[in-house]
């Protein structure tokens, strides 16, 4: 097997990306503090044609060299917007037909592997702070809570890893 060169990957350019039909998912970052994590989320959003990223609360916004370092240009392709309040944003997204899914460990959470996609639905995935997670008020204000099953000794995953797992899972379910 031969590793492919970047020129062989037939990727979209930024203008083509902006024009192509997007996956009916947006990502909401609720007070994420790590600039590297934010950049990684942009790259994942680019890879799976995510509609938009909402950067809420203390979450930093582009342009920033630390975000750029891990985003590798995805801040130019993926639509994003800053919002001060996550709860107010969720109300707006609900009015636009999104189902809000907080990714957190909570009572009555649905395990990601058990979550079933509803056809023609749009989803807002909410990921939280690296230490505190998604705030309780945002968990309470979400339509559902998804939990990533974990079986080892640690009780959490890095946010950029969590975004990759959840986005891949929902994308795969939407495409099947």
Write the pLDDT tens digit of every residue in 142-152. Answer: 999 999 999 99
* pLDDT interval class at 119 (50, 70, 90): confident
Note the pLDDT of residue 167: 98
* pLDDT interval class at 168 (50, 70, 90): very high
**Residue 109: how many CB atoms within 10 A of its CB?**
18
Which strand (E) or helix (H) includes residue 74? helix 74-77
Smallest CA-to-CA distance from 86 within 136, 33, 45, 51 is with 136
- Provide the sign of the torsion angle of the four alpha carbons 174, 53, 98, 161, taken in this order: positive
Note the pLDDT of residue 176: 86
The CATH class of the 20-148+155-175 domain is: alpha beta
Smallest CA-to-CA distance from 40 within 71, 16, 19, 65 is with 71
pLDDT digits (tens, 9 = 90+) for 151-162: 999 989 999 999
* pLDDT interval class at 81 (50, 70, 90): very high
How far, in Å, CA of 36 to CA of 59, rounded? 11
Sort strands 144-147 and 98-103 into parallel, antiparallel or unpaired.
Answer: parallel
pLDDT digits (tens, 9 = 90+) for 16-57: 999 999 999 999 999 999 999 999 999 999 999 999 999 999
Note the pLDDT of residue 18: 95
Note the pLDDT of residue 117: 95
pLDDT digits (tens, 9 = 90+) for 51-80: 999 999 999 999 999 999 999 999 999 999
Question: What is the residue-averaged pLDDT of the chain?
Answer: 97
pTM score, two decimals?
Answer: 0.96
């Amino acid at each position: 097997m031969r590793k492919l060169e970047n020129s062989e990957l037939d990727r979209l350019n930024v203008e083509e990306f902006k024009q192509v039909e997007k996956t009916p998912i947006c990502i909401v970052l609720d007070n994420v503090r790590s600039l590297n994590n934010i950049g990684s989320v942009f790259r994942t959003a680019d890879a799976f044609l995510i509609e938009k990223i909402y950067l809420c609360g203390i979450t930093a916004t582009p342009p920033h060299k630390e975000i750029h370092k891990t985003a590798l240009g995805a801040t130019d392709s993926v639509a994003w917007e800053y919002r001060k309040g996550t709860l107010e944003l969720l109300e707006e997204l609900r009015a636009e037909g999104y189902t809000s899914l907080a990714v957190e460990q909570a009572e009555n959470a649905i395990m990601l592997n058990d979550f079933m996609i509803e056809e023609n639905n749009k989803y807002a995935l909410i990921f939280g702070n690296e230490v505190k997670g998604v705030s309780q008020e945002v968990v309470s204000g979400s339509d559902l809570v998804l939990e990533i099953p974990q079986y080892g000794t640690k009780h959490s995953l890095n946010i950029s890893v969590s975004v990759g797992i959840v986005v891949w899972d929902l994308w795969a379910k939407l495409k099947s």
